Amino acid sequence: MPISNSKLLLFCGPSGSGKTTIVRHLIKTFPELSFSVSATTRSKRQNEVDGVDYYFLSVDEFHKKIENEEFLEWEEVYENGFYGTLRSEIDRIAALGKVAIFDVDVEGGIHIKGRFGKNLLDVFVKPPSINDLHHRLVARASETTDSLDKRILKAELELTYAHRFNHVIINKDLNVAFAEAEKLVRAFLQK
């Protein structure tokens, strides 16, 4: 089936908004979904697995893939922190007969929206406030002070793009956010 005829799910929002947690929950809830594993040049966190959470690449390897046009979209999300969706992921997931679910930054999300249009469920996940986002990123303890500051600065800009997405979930209470996301996905998959 051509890519454009497959249903796809897109979750965007600032780092620390909780979108990855929501995406993981949806994958457990709906067996027909399959996570689109992105490539990145950032270093692996302790709990992450190569090929499951991300394909961890060197900057050189990432640039080779850009040259070979292997990405559907890619962004330098942070300075020297490249992230991208591989075309091969879409084929891999289509071959499984599953629906791809993307967890990307806001710029990447806007690209994917432009590319797939009508077969896409697009959701922007918003933290209740920047202050709240700051607390979450500190609690996650995955960032250095420099990286944390960069993420907060970027989040302020990203929040101004929420209106470009068809659905917005405010992640104040995770269980409420899960329920809202499930409702959207169930309706979309049944269409």
Give the contact letters, 108-147, x = binds to ligand 5GP (CB under 6 A), - = no: x---------------------------------------
Q: Which of 9, 33, 90, 103 binds ligand 5GP (CB under 6 A)?
A: 103
Q: Of residues 3-22, which lie at the interface with ligand 5GP (CB under 6 A)?
A: 15
Q: Are 118 and 5 in contact (CB under 8 A)?
A: no
**Interface with ligand 5GP, residue 83, by CB under 6 A:** yes
Return the DSSP state at 40.
E
Tell me the window of 59-67, 102-110, 122-130, 179-187 that interacts with ligand 5GP (CB under 6 A).
Answer: 102-110
Please provide residue 8's backbone torsions phi and psi, each rounded to the nearest 5 degrees. Answer: -140, 150
Position 143, amino acid: E
- The arrangement of strands across the sheet holding 120-126 comes to 33-35, 99-104, 8-12, 120-126, 167-170
Nearest to 112 by CA among 141, 73, 166: 73
Q: Of residues 57-76, which lie at the interface with ligand 5GP (CB under 6 A)?
A: 73, 75
Interface residues with ligand 5GP (CB under 6 A) are 15, 38, 42, 73, 75, 77, 83-85, 103-105, 107-108
